[in-house]
Structure 1
């Protein structure tokens, strides 16, 4: 349905207006209206027009402005607002322990009543298993994990495939002399690194794909690896990457959300390179564009938009699992806007070739580091 946007943000800054759990325990950010951060406010007594579609956005704990995973999800709901005129509410849990309370508050809300609650990140899986059962009439979307219930539409990605591609890029460039932007490789070492956020089966898919891709490009490449236990600890990311650069790494790939900013900082400080994740981080955080070779873009924005689109069309696919890989354009390699043009064409062709081979089954990318 095609609706015009006729009202401004439901809440900005303060958390009141839906229920008490959304009113102070979270890092709540603007939603519903003409633009995030526009400063408009609604009161708790406002009666909303339920002929419009309302979406509850519940992000991962790394928060918005992570230039990565959450921001891609936010881009998807913004596109839905432009295309369909939906209204939405943003909330960010400060801790994992707050997630179920926030899911529950969206499910219980009657002013407005949310047509869909979008849950971003695998850490929402366990609490949603309980919430979705208790509130079986509420529709949910879950990104990066699966809850097997008829009121949950699940969207997962084949992160290992895209990570394999950037691994091929890293393995190719560490095996040769390469200089661009503020970085350069060492001709006497063939070493790259991987920094993960919270160690989990999901993040291990990034690790495994990257390792396999680097070895595919050059079997002599050494891959250093470390998990920092957080998706929002910039200093931990910087220290982990620093140790890798000290050990000879030319390029470090991160799958660590906001923690990845520290990886970019260390790359600049050492005159080396980094690879971003989830969004094109040379664009979302241009401060580090001169050391970002590429980013493994995960189209969370597409997943969020598609889920909202099913609500608009009355075709909610509860109980389904949508798996987005290279074959469905759920992933892509975005070369950095500063360093990317300087990358040798031969390396880019090698990356392109692996896409074709993965989609056609000629390359079977491992999903765990133990398989590499």
Structure 2
């Protein structure tokens, strides 16, 4: 399910994190609070999770990480401590959060999102006996496991699906923040659309830029962006925007004949999005839960993973969800595209 490779440092950016844990179904994490789930056995694992903005309950990226931790806790016992981002946090806040988890005896400590890269690089050096995990970035340290994904490959397949399903030859992409990571989603999606049907127009919009990470936790902005694309003639919208993507899905649901493409989790099956599920064509699933579980298990087994563990299309680290059966009719084309990527016949771009 994974392959280990050495990669250069990438996607290191500033972010915001704070002592907040959102409840399931919420879409914001701007309060200063913490949550702890404890059920444990001395032989269990004390898991420290530092979530990205949106936290548990974003119905997307963070929830996928949470599922991996929950599975590990259920299997091995122990407890989970969750701290969640605020978009106004500083680098000092991030470092303090990770240090607090390590000081409290949590091991492993996992930074859910590329924004933790710099802080994990610093904090891991201070706690050499603690195993740290970083999702979506690479930190080169002896006690750090870098969990990465080929988002561009899964997004390419999403683009193929969009091109085959659009009736207006016009589709859209909503990105949360214009970071190198999200641009991988854009690049793969646009390439998949154009390789499949060059005449299709692709609108692209980002919700925030630079160090402003509000684009990952603003469903109202996601809804507004998607609505604008639909008004301009698009009938398929792919959003890679954390909980902001929930707003995009809501917007699409209000337009007859339009489709949304979800991200990270199989959003068709997310309870909080159930009323919109018949508008969710597919989701580009990114198995963050598998990466998190694998890492926690390795720590539990006293053989902690380190280096870079890359989850690719070839190993189903990324994939297209088939829930709802809406892409069953184009499965041959999607399978053919996947085979070409895996075999090297298609080189998917990582930048637009």
The aligned counterpart of 2:10 is none
Note closer, same or farther for the CA distance 1:264–1:246 as it changes in structure 2 (3 Å cut). same
Offset of residue 14 of structure 1: 9.8
The aligned counterpart of 1:41 is none
2:208 is aligned with 1:218:
no
RMSD (CA atoms):
1.9
Structure 2 distance, partners of 1:84, 1:136, is 23
Deviations 1:145-196 (A, max 9, x none): 011111111100000000000100001111xxxxxxxxxx4xxx31100000
Note closer, same or farther for the CA distance 1:70–1:342 as it changes in structure 2 (3 Å cut). closer
Match of 1:33 among 15, 39, 49: 39
Structure 1 runs, 4 residues or longer, greater than 6 Å off: none
Unaligned regions of 5+ residues in structure 1, if any? 1-12, 16-23, 35-48, 175-184
- Are the aligned partners of 1:204 and 1:367 in contact in 2 as well (CA < 8 Å)? yes
SS at match of 2:314: helix
Match of 1:322 among 294, 306, 309: 309
Unaligned regions of 5+ residues in structure 2, if any? 1-18, 22-29, 209-214
Structure 2 distance, partners of 1:29, 1:92, is 9
Structure 2 distance, partners of 1:70, 1:336, is 20
The aligned counterpart of 1:228 is 207
Note closer, same or farther for the CA distance 1:14–1:193 as it changes in structure 2 (3 Å cut). closer
Structure 1 distance, partners of 2:172, 2:346, is 22
The aligned counterpart of 2:101 is 106
The aligned counterpart of 1:142 is 134
- Are the aligned partners of 2:20 and 2:85 in contact in 1 as well (CA < 8 Å)? no
Structure 2 distance, partners of 1:139, 1:238, is 39
The aligned counterpart of 1:191 is 170
Figure out how many residues of one structure are paired with residues of the other and give that number: 314
- Are the aligned partners of 2:50 and 2:83 in contact in 1 as well (CA < 8 Å)? yes
The aligned counterpart of 2:15 is none
Structure 2 distance, partners of 1:131, 1:30, is 22
Structure 2 distance, partners of 1:108, 1:296, is 37
- Are the aligned partners of 2:159 and 2:189 in contact in 1 as well (CA < 8 Å)? yes
Offset of residue 50 of structure 1: 5.4
Deviations 1:206-230 (A, max 9, x none): 0000000011110111110000021
Higher relative contact order (CA 8 A, sep 6+): 2
Structure 1 distance, partners of 2:328, 2:103, is 55
- For residues 352-363 of structure 1, what are the structure 2 equivalents within 5 Å? 352-363=335-346
The aligned counterpart of 2:4 is none
SS at match of 1:290: helix
- For residues 287-366 of structure 1, what are the structure 2 equivalents within 5 Å? 287-318=275-306, 320-337=307-324, 341-343=325-327, 345=329, 347-366=330-349
